[in-house]
A and B are shown apart, each in its own frame.
Chain A
């Protein structure tokens, strides 16, 4: 179910009111059933995949706690492989097959390439048919039939077994509660990717109805909707028109589209996170914040402490640190950092554009560390306290991030390089090709500034006074209605 749908709004009202009308025992059942419904609206049969990972990880958690020695490690490996295996099969089979086929072709083994492609496709089709889907003729269309949010709930399930293995979390004995941990509908399909320590205890807790939480949650949801339907979906009109027909666009149009995409993706994803966190908060649950004014970052490393926090900390805790973290030599640290960001790119999608996007971020970070080392050696101090210098840092970081978004949004690597080439050689006299008139262009820029201003100045909208709550909530709802672009745009991160 999409958050930006009427179906969700009515669903949310029904589930929340029913939730507060039930005792604890009924509440987890209600939330679990509601979460199942929320998920099956996309593709019903795919819930079986979710159930499979839930069953595996539930038992793995209990056995991990009971076992000691080498077998513990093996249990963890089996659990992780089953999770990653499902993810790899659905998300990466096409990508890896395509690349292997390409490699075999280059090596002249055309026959082998055809066999590999046909075999992989046959296996995929058999599985798709098993899940009631139509078989596909090529891997190019697979992305549209993937289980929604697969990467998110797989990572959340994996964090549970790893934390149990590390002894930071007791194994959950209540199967329904564990299932709810993986399936809790507000964060099921696009995060935040929670840690068991943060949320599992909450599903055991009976939260009394709290008007303060309801107000804060509703306002956060309304702000999330505003970012999604008023800002992100409006900017998408320009972005899609340009990026879906790259060869026909000039440099200025592509620059504006890229600038808009930088805020579209922020409005889209942070909007989703706000709705998720707000919806949970109305019922008394506290989910982790996922964004903190990322475009205010003064460096790429700071950007990643502010952008998709639940994913960046996941990679830090479960990949970068196990690879050695900062305890290994500098060279190794650089390689590890680069690898982690490449994997992060691949997590987003099985396309080279995402890998390049991740690699660019990895490269930025490594280069920044090399620069810092070089400056340290020469005893050069940068004017970190100077406001002008800080503003320049923010601007420079923003431009670097914006350039990486080209790869994230482009439909192919060829398109991405065309975009960069045209932006690099743009002339300011070119005519801007956009579906917006002048008024909407300025309105959009105003919206972006308003969003930045709000996110930077008032991280949380004060709702303590009822009159303030009513006014803010009313105005946001009205703005969403009158200025929202309701074209059923799916959230960008749903595809991951």
Chain B
């Protein structure tokens, strides 16, 4: 009996260890339904476990499913606000839609029968990084060298030996945590711990920050004025000029490659909309969007979301909710309609 118990625990522990350390094993377990979605209550709740911010993320309806499609090809270099699953082709009136994340590259072949529009979308907290150089995430076919993406156990082994420290330590830690402790029982314990730490010691997970009235949850990246990502970090005029110059350079580059238009949209941080007076706001969005040298149309997400206040963001997430998303999609689709000849 003892031996049976020992081998059973060994097997379970070994599978868990493998699931934590190997991406392939982790995804396999996820395929079997053994790995829950750790973002289901939002990225900020995932970090903080504060029960008052636990709210299942809304599943937003497709925005333009039944709309007639325009002869437009919409390309987006964007971040998590527009990642697949949050925003997809069914949300636009464009005939085709392609998305690439700021950290990746994607092959591009323009269809000259369509009106080609590129949108540069960035959340405010990463705008200074994204606009610090010319963007080149869409690469034309003749220049595109596809990365050989290996998958499987040997790819995991290779990543382990040649990858970064993050891949060997942080990623397995996150995977193990999700695999073993993302269930009702442990979630309850996590919530108790988070509530206890907040109520007794006035502390939260160091990656999140509470609003002054403790009603809203933010990324500490937004609120810590010593970080370059923060709304409250000093932003010199010279840096704004430089960001605008890089944006113009990107627009010029892609126009020369055949794009008809290049648009810009900066999504405000939750802090910017919900608690702008937390510190001296650097007004990054307005200063970029209203810069006299900026030579590209803007989808003014700040202007759209600001009146909605906290009501346009998810409670336990740093992203917008369906209302905020719809406001932005409406503006983009209206612009597509307005600029595309019938």
Contact = CB atoms under 8 A, between A and B. Distances in A.
Interface of A: 1-2, 5-7, 10-11, 13-14, 17-18, 20-21, 40-44, 132, 435-437, 439-440, 443, 481-482, 487-488
Given A18-B10, A20-B6, A7 B169 contact: yes
The main secondary structure of chain B at its interface with chain A is helix
B7 interface: yes
Interface string B6-48: 1101100110110011000000000000000000000000000
Nearest to A436: B201
Given A10-B176, A440-B202, 9 more contacts: A7-B21, A10-B20, A13-B9, A21-B10, A440-B203, A443-B200, A482-B192, A482-B193, A487-B206
B201 A440 contact: yes
B227 interface: no
Considering residues A2, A10, A42, which has the most beta carbons from chain B within 10 angstroms of its beta carbon? A10
B327 interface: no
List the 7 shortest-distance A-B pairs measured between CB atoms, nearest first.
Answer: A17-B10, A440-B201, A13-B13, A6-B176, A10-B17, A437-B202, A14-B13
Interface of B: 6-7, 9-10, 13-14, 16-17, 20-21, 160-162, 165, 168-170, 172-173, 176-177, 180, 189, 192-193, 196, 200-203, 206
A487 B208 CA distance: 13
A210 B6 CA distance: 14
29 contacts: A5-B173, A6-B173, A6-B176, A6-B177, A7-B17, A7-B20, A10-B16, A10-B20, A10-B176, A14-B10, A14-B14, A14-B17, A17-B10, A17-B13, A18-B10, A21-B7, A21-B10, A40-B161, A42-B168, A44-B160, A44-B161, A436-B201, A437-B201, A439-B201, A440-B201, A443-B201, A482-B192, A482-B193, A488-B173
B202 A6 contact: no
B13 to A, nearest CB: 4
Contacts of B165: 42-43
A7 B176 contact: yes
B7 A7 contact: no
B172 A7 contact: yes
B131 to A, nearest CB: 26
A265 B123 CA distance: 41
Contacts of B189: 481
A7 B179 CA distance: 12
Contacts of B193: 481-482
A362 B176 CA distance: 46
Nearest to B199: A439
A174 to B, nearest CB: 27
Contacts of A488: 170, 173
B172 A17 contact: no
Given A6-B176, A11-B17, A132 B9 contact: no
B6 A17 contact: yes
B192 to A, nearest CB: 7
Contact of A10 (B13, B161, B168): B13
A481 B192 CA distance: 10
Contacts of B13: 10, 13-14, 17
Nearest to B201: A440
A41 B169 contact: yes
Nearest to A145: B165
Contacts of A18: 10
Contacts of B201: 436-437, 439-440, 443
Contacts of A5: 169, 173
